[in-house]
Structure 1
Amino acid sequence: MTAWVDATASTITSSAPPRRRRFAAAPPLQEPTWAAAAGPRTSAAVKRRMLWERRYRRRLTVTDAVVVLAVTAAASLWHLSTDAPGALEADPWILSRIPLATAATWLLALALSGTRAPGVIAAPQTEYRRVALATGWAFGLLALAFVVFPWEGLRNQVIVALPIGLVALLTSRRLWRRWLVARRRSGLYDSRAIVLGRSVDVAQVVRTLERDDQLGFRVVGTAVEGDAGAVHSIRPDAHSILASPDAVAQAARELGADTIIVASDVSEGAFARRLSWQLEGAATDLVWASRLTDVASPRISLRHIDGLPLVQMRIPTFEGAQHLWKRALDVIVSVVALLAIAVVTPIIALLIRLDSPGPVFFRQRRVGRDGREFDIIKFRTMTETAETELALLIARNEGSGPLFKLRADPRVTTVGAVLRRFSLDELPQFWNVLRGEMSVVGPRPPLPSEVGGYDGHVFRRLYIKPGITGLWQVSGRSDLSWEESVRLDLHYVENWSVLTDLRIIFRTATVMVRPKGAY
């Protein structure tokens, strides 16, 4: 390239001063071709993903517009029918002017807040949070406008349209997400991923992605570091490829993958940059599965100081105002739940007594926060002699670690099996929650014999109150191994929040309808 530039410069400097003359048509100049300077071409897999993302965003846009226009028009009609019945005759445009202004502000806030951005498609919590924030910003501006310009009907938009519209928007987004998950289960609208890293890390990431279908990743290939050319059967339909950036980029095109997941930390910053360069045009996302897997995003922040990126992690605390909010949520939920349970308790009690002799309720010693023991209350699901028969069944234990589980436990009664399947036997534990011995959401309450087998960091499960439900229940319950159960409990102990509790409560309702791992 230098020689070509020097020769061109020499020709220019040695040419005679320009003068007027008639020029014949000159042959076209042959520019030198530089293969490395050509921009990367978008692969078919990337185009496919961009296509379905655009279609999904269009659906969200249309639904948002319908919801916003409907609630703003309803608020305006409510105002005209109750507060200003004669306003329509005085101003025929009032029915359209105020709702359209509200709707335009609202839809603009939803667009500017990135509620339909590609990055939030795989993050439902982020999507819902952005929708709520955008709605808050829109109606904050409208409230300020009402103070400055007290337009007729604007107050009803703020009072009526805000709560109804927010619930309607979140409901529509939830329904669309369920539709998206259903399409992904049938092989559509998913992200085809290649997982790169050490064998043990790759296997863990693949198992996690297969267990959670909300993320929408379908592993189509694996690249195992240090074993180039070896075959690794992470999954029967997964392909094994060479673990170099060049090989990964080529494999992404061949396998139709649009996402590369790096399943191990890499200290060399140049590796990430080089890999992203190689993947230009071949993939849309480069995802880093950091070893900080048990640290939730609210505890992590990224700071830059003079070009030096710093990852800051907040140390968890187990006291303070946040725990008071958790206690307030426990009291409210337990009071409401106990009122509903009081209605169905006589029916369940009658079925239990008719099915087998013995008491309706079952009390058992459990270990709570800071190692304090308490009596847990459940509907009885086993025979009256279940505790004495336990020693005869120990050899048939199907649980892992200190847990005792038996899928076909002969001690479980007929009614008890139904109660266990739908988690109805846990309902009396809301009384333990109201007493302050348990929380609605938390780690599984262990038996004293289980705690006696704890070692090392497992005791951290007792740093907060045990819960009626938790990550262990919405992630598979008895189908989980002991290690997975401990990991989920410790993740919750260190990263819980009130919003996390609300999400787990909502997911628990779904799990009760479609039980998994309950026996």
Structure 2
Amino acid sequence: MADRDSGTSPRPMRESMGWAVWMRAALGGSDLLVATFAVAVAHGVRFGFDSDATLTGGPWSPSYMFMSALIALGWWWALGIGGSRDATVLGHGPQELQRLVSASWRVFAVVAMIAFATQWQISRFYLLVALPVGVMGLFVTRGLWRLWIHAQRDKGYLQANVLIVGAESSVRELEVRFRGGRRAGFRVVGVASVPGHTEDWSGLDPRITRLGSLDDPLAQATSVRAEYIVVAGTEAMSFEESHKLGWALEGSDIGLLIAPSLADVAGPRVHVTPVAGLPLLEVTAPTFVGTRYVVKAVLDRLGALVLLVLTALPMLAIAIAIRAGSPGPVFFVQERVGLGMKPFPMLKFRSMYADAEERLEDLLEHDEGAGALFKMKNDPRITPVGRLLRRFSLDELPQLLNVLLGHMSLVGPRPPLAREVEQWEDNVERRQLVKPGLTGLWQVSGRSDLSWEESVRLDLYYAENWSLGGDLVIILRTIYTVLRQSGAY
């Protein structure tokens, strides 16, 4: 275990994976409360809270009270074995919510099968109340837990310590990803090279422990209190060495994660295919046509129409405030680049003075952005009314008309300006393989606080990996982001 030249002191256990134990217990408690509440509401709505109704049919007729207790306990148990409380998914909205829904459906499917086998006549209305009430309750409580977990991880707590093994370039990129995705819950505490190889770690954070060659995985991981060893995609480690690494950790509390040389591909496009004992990753190519795009287009237009009706009066008040605040039109129409690199007129409420475009050239030297996107936190071209509109993203509301007209989607990449497109590097245009969005990953991941490179990466990731479920999560996260006013200027 040579070459520990720039070590860090071990983290106290309360900051390490010890938190996962009590976190699972806390989540288990809240899950049980939600399940109990859901079946109690269903029982009360269907039979009355003082009712002692019993199931009909079958050789034995238990009471609904007894059945409700069994369903609540079974629901709680299914959420546990379904992995919804696992440390690896806590704080990850889509994965956690998917496991919640999957476990809930399975519980009620089992209840239906038991009823069929025993010929019990379970009230369908009772089940139709219990399931949605319980799922919504789980979404709300887990959402609150997620906010708390994110707040703690932003402070550096509730992190799992990891030791990364691999070549310097792969380790460096993986360390940057972990550092940028702190809310995922992984903290790099050490790095090591593949046995028989040496690496120059001079460019890494000096607080990360260098362990030299990974010759004794269990001892070296224990020395830095790592809960996981992460193998960064490398050709230097043979199949046999990978196998030996897994054997070395057998029986310990240290997990093994493999990071393949494959980035920004979502789970639905990745499938594991076992071939002669090797887990091969099959990555399906992204598609940009098909039924799901038709469904997305229909939902976009319906959603835009409903939102336009609901926001008609607030938009009228905003228009009056804009006209009263400064001379000029209510709307700002700007050409943006949309699907297939085709331009379209994008609508916004005017948030700047009427001569803003003419004054841009004088402000370019104060650009706080990176790459092709101009950013300036204290832009003097923004009106007082416009600053308030931007803080809550209200200036974007007229884009609902763009969605209704088919220029945009409710969720998608950020619609770029033509001058931005002229400065794009290779492959950035792939973000235009889907319609630009009123909101998107860029909106819920930092908004204007993001660097140009990170904005592009998120847009490309969305374009190739989007799903209807993911869009729903982004919309819910957008509401929270707007209310927090984070990254808006």
- TM above 0.5, yes or no, is yes
Indicate yes or no: 2:392 matched with 1:422.
Answer: yes
Tell me how far 1:248 sits from its aligned partner: 5.9
1:327-372 Cα shifts (integer Å, max 9, x gaps): 1221232123212321211222232223211111110011110122
Indicate yes or no: 2:28 matched with 1:66.
Answer: no
Q: Is the 8 A contact 1:241 1:251 kept in 2?
A: no
Tell me how far 1:50 sits from its aligned partner: 5.8
What does residue 120 of structure 1 align with? 89
Indicate yes or no: 2:319 matched with 1:349.
Answer: yes
Tell me how far 1:442 sits from its aligned partner: 1.0
Indicate yes or no: 2:485 matched with 1:515.
Answer: yes
Please state whether the residue corresponding to 1:383 is helix, strand or coil: coil
Q: How do 1:120-269 residues align onto structure 2 when only pairs under 5 Å count?
A: 120-121=89-90, 123-146=92-115, 151=120, 154-223=123-192, 232=202, 234-235=204-205, 238-246=207-215, 249-266=218-235, 268-269=238-239
Please state whether the residue corresponding to 1:411 is helix, strand or coil: coil
Structure 1 unmatched runs, 5+ = 1-42
Indicate yes or no: 2:340 matched with 1:360.
Answer: no
Counterpart of 2:263, as a letter, is T
| Cα pair distance change 1:116/1:355, threshold 3 Å | same
TM-score (norm 2): 0.86
Q: Is the 8 A contact 1:402 1:450 kept in 2?
A: yes
| Cα pair distance change 1:478/1:124, threshold 3 Å | closer
Matches of 2:208 and 2:251, distance apart in 1: 21
| Cα pair distance change 1:234/1:418, threshold 3 Å | farther
Tell me how far 1:169 sits from its aligned partner: 1.9
Matches of 2:363 and 2:422, distance apart in 1: 20
| Cα pair distance change 1:421/1:249, threshold 3 Å | farther
Instruction: State, as a whole percentage, how many aligned pairs show the same letter.
Output: 40
Of 53, 65, 88, the residue aligned with 2:20 is: 53
Of structures 1 and 2, the one with the larger relative CO (CA 8 A, separation 6+) is 2
| Cα pair distance change 1:412/1:46, threshold 3 Å | closer
What does residue 96 of structure 1 align with? 65
Q: Is the 8 A contact 1:262 1:287 kept in 2?
A: yes
Structure 2 unmatched runs, 5+ = 1-9
Matches of 2:251 and 2:119, distance apart in 1: 53
| Cα pair distance change 1:102/1:282, threshold 3 Å | closer
Matches of 2:137 and 2:143, distance apart in 1: 10
Q: Is the 8 A contact 1:422 1:518 kept in 2?
A: yes
Counterpart of 1:285, as a letter, is G
Matches of 2:53 and 2:201, distance apart in 1: 76
Counterpart of 1:70, as a letter, is F
Counterpart of 1:320, as a letter, is G
Matches of 1:190 and 1:221, distance apart in 2: 14
1:43-71 Cα shifts (integer Å, max 9, x gaps): 99899856432222222222222222222
Number of positions where the alignment pairs a residue of Structure 1 with one of Structure 2:
474
Tell me how far 1:166 sits from its aligned partner: 1.3
Structure 1 stretch displaced more, 199-208 or 495-504: 199-208
Tell me how far 1:281 sits from its aligned partner: 6.7
Of 44, 53, 76, the residue aligned with 2:43 is: 76
1:121-147 Cα shifts (integer Å, max 9, x gaps): 364433321221121122123334445
Matches of 2:222 and 2:361, distance apart in 1: 58
Matches of 2:12 and 2:253, distance apart in 1: 8
Counterpart of 1:362, as a letter, is F
Tell me how far 1:189 sits from its aligned partner: 2.9
What does residue 10 of structure 1 align with? none
TM-score (norm 1): 0.82
Indicate yes or no: 2:462 matched with 1:492.
Answer: yes
Matches of 1:362 and 1:194, distance apart in 2: 51
| Cα pair distance change 1:317/1:86, threshold 3 Å | closer
